Amino acid sequence: MPERASADLKTGTNLVEVVDSMDGRGDKTIIAARIGTSIVGLATVLAEDSKVEFLTFDSPEAREVYRHTASHVMAQAVKTLYPDAKLGIGPAIQEGFYYDFDVGGKLTDEDLPKIENIMRQLVKQDLTFERTEMARDEAITMFSEAGETYKVELLEEIEEPTVSIYRQGGFTDLCRGPHLPSTGRLRAFKLTSLAGAYWRGDETKPMLQRIYGTAFDDEADLKLYLDRLEEAKARDHRRLGTDLDLYSIHEEAGAGLAYWHPKGSVIRRTVEDFWTSEHEKRGYSLVYTPHIARARMWEASGHLEYYKENMYVFDVDNEQYVLKPMNCVGHILIYKSRKRSYRDLPIRMAELGTVHRRERSGTLHGLMRVRGFTQDDAHIFCTRDQIVDEVIGVIELAQYMLSTFGFKDYQVDLSVRDPEKPEHYAGADDEWADAEEALAEALRRKEIPFTRMEGEAVFYGPKIDIKLLDALGRGWQGPTIQFDFNLPGRLGVEYVGQDGNAHNVVMIHRTVLGAMGRFIATVLEHYAGALPVWLAPVQVSVLPVLEKNEAYASGVLSRLLESGVRAEVVSSQQKLGYRIRAKTMEKVPYILVVGNKEEESGGVAVRKRKVGDQGTVSLDEFVGRIRGEIDSKSIEN
C-alpha cells in the first residue's frame, strides 16, 4: 500500500473497521490516520463527516504512533517483572523509543531479553488500548495511590482540567496518544540498550534507568536496522579512540573534557593546518582571543540573558568573569579597536578558538558532546549589500572542505524563529524577515534544496545548518552559517559609509567544520577508523624481517621522514606475522616489509590496507606514490 490513502467517511465510522475491511484479512500495513492537522489512532470513531488520510509505517507520523505504542508495551512488561517500578516518560524517538523507570537501579542488560519475552506474550494476548478522559484532579489521586510520583509531578504541571489515560490489560499510563488499536498489531521490536538518565534531564533530580528499543512493521526491516546498529557500534569513535590510542576522557579531571594523545593530536593538527591554509586563501585573517572576559561584555551582548545556563560564570577580584562559550565577542573587540570604513569591508576574522559550555552530564557523549572544545570559528563583518555574496562564499568553502574529507551528501536546514514566541528572540520583525530571506536567497542561488525549520534559530538571528551524511547514512552536525543583526547594534559595531555617517555592520557567524573534536569523531566513524593516507597519524610502518635488516629499515625511515611522510620502524623483536597483524589492526595505510632481498635491491615490499601484498618496488617509486596520495588529499582508504 502507498504511504498515504484517503477516504471520505461518514459520522460514526469506526476507522479500525474500515481498515480491517480493506481486504479479506484486514490491512495491517495501516497504522494511524490524519484528520485535518491531527494524527489519530485507528480506534477513533468519527464525530462528523471527515476526509481521512490513512498512514503506513513509511509515514514519520505513523512510525511515531507505532513506536510509542511499543514503549507502552515495554513499560507494561517492566511493571510485570518489577511491580514496584515507578514510571517516568516513554516517547518515540527518531529510530525507536525509550522509557525511563525508577527501579532502584535493579535493571541490568541481562533483563532486556526477559522484558522482550514478556512483551511478546503481551503482543500474543492482543490487548486492546482503551483511551479514557479523566479529570486532572482525579488522575492525580489515582496515580498518587499507585505510588507513581513522577506521573503526579507531570499532572500537577498540566493546566487543562481533563487528561487522557490509556489502558491495556492491567496496565494504566498517562498519555496523550494515539496508539495502535491493540498490542497484537506490534509486529517486530528489539530492546537495544540500557542507560542512566536524570529525571527530566535535571542533575539535581533522581537518576532513572532508561531502556532504549526500536520497532518496525516488518522483521526484515528490523534485521537490517540491527545489522546497521552493529556496524555503527564497530565504528563508534569512543571505541576507535581507545583502540587506536587517539584521546581519552578522565572523570577524575572532569566529565566532557578530552585529552588528545600523540596520534590523535597528529590528526587534529593535520585538519587544522588544512583549515588554516584554505581560510588564508579566501581572505580570512587569523586571530587569537583570551579564554575569559568580564561578565559585563556578555551582558551587553545578550548572552547572559539568553544563554546563561550554558555558561561558566565565576568571580575574580570581586567581579564576575565568564569562561567564553563562543568567540564572537572577542572578534568584535578586535574589529572595534580602530575605525572602519565601507572600503575595509568585508572583514573576515577566523580563529580556532577553544570555548567551554556547561552541558548537562547526561548529554555528554565522547567527542560529540563535550564541555570544552575548539571551534573553527569565523566572523564576517559586512554591509547589507554584501550579505548574499558572503554567505555564498561560506557555502562554497564548506562544500569544498566537506568534499575533501569525503563527505559528498548532506542535508540543509534553514533555521528560523518561531513566530509565536517572539520573546525568545532579539530584534525587530522586519530585520528577521530580511535576514531569513538573505539566507534563503543564497541557498537558492547555489541550487541547494533546504528544509525550513521554525523555532530552530538562535536568539540573535536565523541560520543555515548543514548535516553531514556518513557512510551509514547518519546525519551529523557540520557547517553552520548564522546571520546576526543584533550584536552589532548592542555593541556598537559600526563602519563609516559613503555618506560619511556611521552605520551598523551586519555580522555572519560561521563554522565550516564545527567543533574540531566532533568533526574528527565524525570522520573516524565515517571511515571506521581507516583514515585516508593524508589524515592517518602513522602513514607507513616499516617492518624489518630480521635484526640484521634494521639498519636498512632505519635508512628507509629517514627517506620517508625527509619526504614529509609520517612513518615508524617496528622492531624485529617479534615475529613478522604478529607485527603485520598488529599494524593492520591499527589501520596503518601502508606496511613496508624489508628483508635481505629488498636490502640488496634497494626496494621495499609494499602491503596496502584493504588490498594486501602489492609486490616489491623501488623506494623512490613508493615515495612518489604516497606523496601523490598525500598531496592530492586522496580519500581512498
Hey, which residues are catalytic here? Answer: 328, 357, 375, 377, 379, 463, 509
Q: Residue 497: count other Cβ atoms within 10 Å of its Cβ.
A: 13
| DSSP H or E run through 410 | strand 410-416
Phi/psi for 588 (5° steps) reads: -70, 130
- The one-letter code for the residue type at 626 is I
Of 241, 319, 266, 276, the residue nearest 518 (C-alpha)? 241
CA-atom Rg of the chain in angstroms: 30
Residue with cell 606475522: 577
- Mapped onto helix, strand or coil, the DSSP state of residue 105 is coil
From start to end of 309-346, where are the E strands? 312-316, 319-323
User: What angle (nearest 5°) sits at the alpha carbon of residue 435, between those of residues 434 and 439?
Assistant: 115
> DSSP letter string over 170-190?
TEEEE------SBGGG--EEE
Residue 469, C-alpha cell as written in the block: 551524511
Q: For residues 508 and 480, what is the distance between their CA atoms, to the nearest angstrom?
A: 10
Cell of 521: 569523531
Measured between alpha carbons, how far is 120 from 372 in angstroms, rounded to an integer? 44
Whether the Cβ atoms of residue 52 and residue 6 lie closer than 8 Å to each other: yes
Name the grid cell of 250: 578522565
Specify which residues 511 forms β-bridges with. Answer: 377, 480
Quote the crossing angle between the two packed helices 619-631 and 550-562, to the nearest 10°: 40
399-416 burial, b if ≥16 CB within 10 A, otherwise e? Answer: bebbeebbbeebebbbbb
Residue type, position 289, single letter: T
Query: What's the grid cell of residue 523?
Result: 570522520
b/e sequence 159-172, b meaning 16+ C-beta within 10 Å: eeeebbbbbbeebb
| Phi then psi dihedrals of residue 316, to 5 deg | -135, 115
Q: Residue 339 corresponds to which cell in the numbers above? A: 575605525
- State whether residue 92 is helix, strand or coil: strand
Instruction: Name the amino acid, one letter, at 510.
Output: R
Residue 633, C-alpha cell as written in the block: 588529499
DSSP code of residue 145: H
Pairing of strands 463-469, 475-484: antiparallel
Using the 8-state DSSP alphabet, how is residue 23 labeled?
A: S
Residue 196, CA distances (Å) to 68, 102, 193, 203, 328 in order? 20, 10, 10, 11, 35
Q: Which of 486, 378, 507 is nearest to 432 (CA)?
A: 486
Crossing angle of helices 111-125 and 60-81, rounded to 10°: 110
- Give SS3 for 489: helix
